[in-house]
């Protein structure tokens, strides 16, 4: 049943589906790391519960949790959320869970990337990260899905696919010296082709300003459907994000996707800018890798939402833009349920709703 496969997904006829395709489940991991989440993770845990509840309206949710936190998590989560004990170093399931691939015969397998805490010993956020690196295989084992161990360091949040052969990523992250310094752009494209069956890689220069993941693409854009994306947009020429968003727009509009389509770009507002407050910073244990000081700019983005079975679960981040974002999503996804969750606590930990979830496609 579940085993390591020694070939590649492309050779075996598997491809990575888009997030808009049907899903069997969404996986999450319980937050408790005290040098990332304030006050022992208590405020973040309450938010993770709300995200899990929102997703469970359309898709079954499995939450992994440490042995120490099992009772607490079980008490806080509704009964319909499956809870499994699994060790991890933190709770970014998008980056530590498997990227799933499917074939036309109704089979599903996981791709297990190497994980080095967003930069290893060069600029990683914590050490060690071996428990995180083991999560993807464990998820596949629990789902009784075979898995491939891919030969590169990659986080799930650093890529978006459209399910029709196109992959979006940022040069800032995938070409960063802390990931795969010995591989060229062309060699990386070959690995992405072999393991996700993508035919075309759309390279965007940079991610969101001050994003400690080295610019994950899922914090800047989201694939709405094949040939169509949303892009975090900034109107203030004095803001560092202003130039980054324009370079991204230029990259998206001057390349065609795997099917030769011009990419349609919908601009979405940037929340804030948002900053860590004094009281928020005071609740976090000191750490070598993560900047959690008062006044630190947060990499807040509405693009960091999850698409799951005709539902959008998106972060509420800024009262000036939350409602506008809701109406944009309603327009882009007719017939979908659009659910907003107050997500500042996730943002304080360095990511958002897309970063803490990983979908398992239906077969």
Q: In what order do the strands lie in the sheet with 200-204?
A: 159-161, 166-170, 200-204
Residue 62 has a pLDDT of 98
pLDDT tens digit string along 300-357?
999 999 999 999 999 999 999 999 999 999 999 999 999 999 999 999 999 999 999 9
pLDDT tens digit string along 14-49?
999 999 999 999 999 999 999 999 999 999 999 999
Separation between Cα atoms, residue 115 and residue 113, nearest integer Å: 6
CA distances (Å), origin 297, targets 20, 275, 349 = 31, 4, 12
Separation between Cα atoms, residue 95 and residue 116, nearest integer Å: 10
Environment class of residue 287 by beta-carbon count within 10 Å: exposed (0-12), middle (13-18) or buried (19+)?
Answer: middle
The mean per-residue pLDDT over the stretch 50-62 comes to: 98
**Catalytic residue list contains 355:** yes
Mean pLDDT of the chain: 97
**Thinking of the domain 8-361, which architecture would CATH place it in?**
5-stranded Propeller (3.75)
Strands 99-102 and 82-85: unpaired
Residue 291 has a pLDDT of 74
Separation between Cα atoms, residue 31 and residue 51, nearest integer Å: 13
Residue 1 has a pLDDT of 58
Confidence label for 95 from pLDDT (cuts 50, 70 and 90): very high
Which sequence spans correspond to the domains of the chain? Answer: 8-361
Name the DSSP letter for residue 77: S
pTM of the model: 0.97
The mean per-residue pLDDT over the stretch 53-60 comes to: 98
The tokens describing 202, both together, are 């759309």
pLDDT tens digit string along 253-290?
999 999 999 999 999 999 999 999 999 998 888 877 77
Residue pair 220/207 in contact by the 8 Å Cβ criterion: yes
With CA atoms as reference, report the closest residue to 20 among 327, 251, 362: 362
Catalytic site residue from 140, 173, 234, 355: 355
The tokens describing 4, both together, are 């390591």
Determine if the peptide bond prior to 128 is cis (ω within 30°): yes
Strand (E) or helix (H) holding 340: strand 337-342
Separation between Cα atoms, residue 262 and residue 255, nearest integer Å: 7
DSSP assignments along 158-170, one per residue: GEEE-SSSEEEEE
């Amino acid at each position: 049943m579940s085993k390591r496969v020694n070939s590649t997904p492309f050779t075996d006829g598997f491809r990575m589906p888009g997030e808009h395709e049907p899903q069997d489940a969404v996986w999450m991991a319980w937050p408790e790391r005290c040098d990332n989440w304030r006050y022992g993770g208590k405020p973040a845990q309450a938010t993770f519960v709300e995200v899990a509840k929102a997703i469970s309206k359309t898709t079954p949710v499995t939450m992994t949790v440490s042995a120490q936190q099992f009772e607490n998590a079980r008490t806080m989560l509704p009964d319909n959320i499956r809870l499994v004990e699994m060790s991890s170093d933190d709770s970014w399931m998008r980056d530590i869970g498997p990227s799933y691939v499917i074939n036309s015969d109704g089979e599903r397998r996981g791709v297990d990337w190497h994980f080095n805490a967003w930069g290893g010993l060069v600029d990683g956020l914590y050490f060690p990260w071996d428990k995180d690196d083991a999560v993807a295989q464990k998820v596949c084992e629990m789902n009784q899905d075979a898995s491939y161990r891919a030969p590169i360091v990659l986080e799930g949040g650093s890529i978006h696919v459209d399910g029709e052969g196109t992959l979006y990523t940022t040069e800032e992250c995938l070409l960063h010296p802390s990931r795969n310094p010995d591989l060229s752009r062309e060699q990386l494209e070959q690995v992405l082709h072999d393991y996700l069956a993508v035919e075309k890689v759309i390279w965007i220069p940079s991610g969101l300003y001050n994003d400690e993941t080295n610019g994950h693409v899922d914090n800047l854009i989201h694939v709405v459907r094949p040939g169509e994306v949303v892009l975090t947009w900034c109107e203030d020429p004095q803001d560092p994000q202003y130039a980054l968003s324009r370079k991204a727009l230029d990259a998206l509009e001057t390349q065609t996707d795997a099917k030769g389509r011009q990419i349609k770009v919908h601009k979405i507002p940037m929340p804030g800018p948002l900053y860590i407050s004094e009281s928020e910073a005071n609740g976090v244990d000191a750490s070598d890798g993560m900047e959690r000081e008062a006044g630190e700019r947060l990499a807040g983005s509405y693009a960091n939402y999850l698409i799951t079975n005709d539902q959008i679960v998106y972060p509420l981040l800024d009262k000036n833009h939350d409602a506008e974002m809701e109406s944009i999503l309603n327009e882009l996804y007719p017939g979908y349920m659009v659910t907003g969750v107050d997500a500042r606590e996730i943002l304080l930990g360095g990511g958002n709703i897309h970063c803490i979830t990983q979908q398992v496609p239906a077969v």
